[in-house]
Structure 1
Amino acid sequence: MSQAQEHEQNGPSVPQTRTARHRRIVDILNRQPVRSQSQLAKLLADDGLSVTQATLSRDLDELGAVKIRNTGGELIYAVPSEGGFRTPQAPLGESAKEERMRRLSGELLISAEASANLVVLRTPPGAAQFLASAIDQAELRAILGTIAGDDTLMLISRDPVGGQALADHLLRLAQKEG
């Protein structure tokens, strides 16, 4: 088995750093209800991040996580979102994520150019990170990652020659909106 096949089978490599662990904790808490530290530790372990209860407790404190009651009446962990609210994000369905990406592509995408597995998108000034966030949240399997500046965004395709197909897809989404 090649390294690429093994990597794809095992999922992304996650560094064992505090920053990576904090990012993963926030991702988990924003995507699903977590009722206990032991449940969170198991979810992190499933991602290859092994943590002790003491470390996890310290991480939750550093992130400002608190237990709140969700709409179902359960106590779950939540972290502050933009604006400081501790309301857990309602998980969006796939169609809602794709709809948001389509809408924002239509509003913000100026151009898309491809080279091999890279796509460079242009947006109005200040909009690249906003569009990148929508693309990231859509969790498209074809996209390995995004990097955004002020008005330029780079997408990396998983397919070594998939850049043009990805650029075409995003341009079609933008045209459906416009």
Structure 2
Amino acid sequence: MVVAQSRNARHQRIVDILGRTAVRSQAELLDLLAADGYDVTQATLSRDLVELGAVKVRDGRSLVYAVPGEGGDTTPRVAPEPAEVDAKLRRLCEELLVTAEFSGNIAVLRTPPGAANYLAAAIDKGEVALRQGIIGTVAGDDTLLVISADPAGGEAVAMRLLALAAGSSEGKDPNSE
């Protein structure tokens, strides 16, 4: 992945990481940023966390970094469990996914009017994106494109999301067996 080395890009990546992963230390966060191609010093990261309003909050028996929610919400948000994220994505697919087609590395999904952005955000945040090699989504009003890293991955992505819409907890195509 090629990343922009700007302060804003780095801040967004920190928010994304803290929203997905329970990070217990700055050293751990530095390693995660380095894996994404960001060359950051500990001092810069410390300033970034202050600028983002990141705080350490209790998550079970440990303390993890959290950032305030979007839209001015100042409540720190701890990264949800992957099972919670996948359950939300499965529920949204059941409620919103109307059709899915594919071509090459693209899956074209149709939703009711006004729902495409909502479903796209859930796909971007979901663990399905990591397992399926999804690079990202582009959403309009009732149509969204899901782009796979695999040149022929559109079919797998479409089938996985259709299976979630059919209520399959594993996301496998229920018609394949």
Kept in 1: contact 2:132–2:157 (CA 8 A)? no
Q: Determine the structure 2 residue equivalent to 1:144.
A: 135
Q: Determine the structure 2 residue equivalent to 1:108.
A: 96
The separation in 1 between residues aligned to 2:104 and 2:41, in whole angstroms, is: 42
Considering only aligned residues, what root-mean-square deviation do their CA atoms show, in Å?
Answer: 2.4
Q: Determine the structure 1 residue equivalent to 2:153.
A: 162
1:171 and 2:159 correspond: no
The separation in 2 between residues aligned to 1:134 and 1:172, in whole angstroms, is: 16
Q: Which residue identity does 1:135 align to in structure 2?
A: I
> Which of 115, 127, 133 is the matching residue for 2:121?
133
Q: Determine the structure 2 residue equivalent to 1:9.
A: none
Give deviations 1:40-81, integer Å, cap 9, x for gaps. Answer: 223322332111233212211221112233331x44321012
The separation in 2 between residues aligned to 1:120 and 1:171, in whole angstroms, is: 11
Q: Determine the structure 2 residue equivalent to 1:60.
A: 49
Q: Classify the secondary structure of the residue corresponding to 2:68.
A: coil
Q: How does 1:70-81 map to 2 (within 5 A)?
A: 70-72=59-61, 74-81=62-69
TM-score by length of 2: 0.76
Paired-residue identity, %: 56
Q: Determine the structure 2 residue equivalent to 1:7.
A: none
The separation in 2 between residues aligned to 1:32 and 1:172, in whole angstroms, is: 26
Matched pairs, number: 163
Report how far residue 105 of structure 1 moved. Answer: 0.9
Report how far residue 152 of structure 1 moved. Answer: 1.8
Report how far residue 88 of structure 1 moved. Answer: 0.8
Q: Determine the structure 2 residue equivalent to 1:28.
A: 17
Q: Classify the secondary structure of the residue corresponding to 1:79.
A: strand
Report how far residue 24 of structure 1 moved. Answer: 1.9
Q: Which ranges of 4 or more aligned residues in structure 1 deviate by more than 6 Å?
A: none
Unpaired runs of 5+ in structure 1? 1-11
> Which of 70, 95, 105 is the matching residue for 1:117?
105
Report how far residue 143 of structure 1 moved. Answer: 2.2
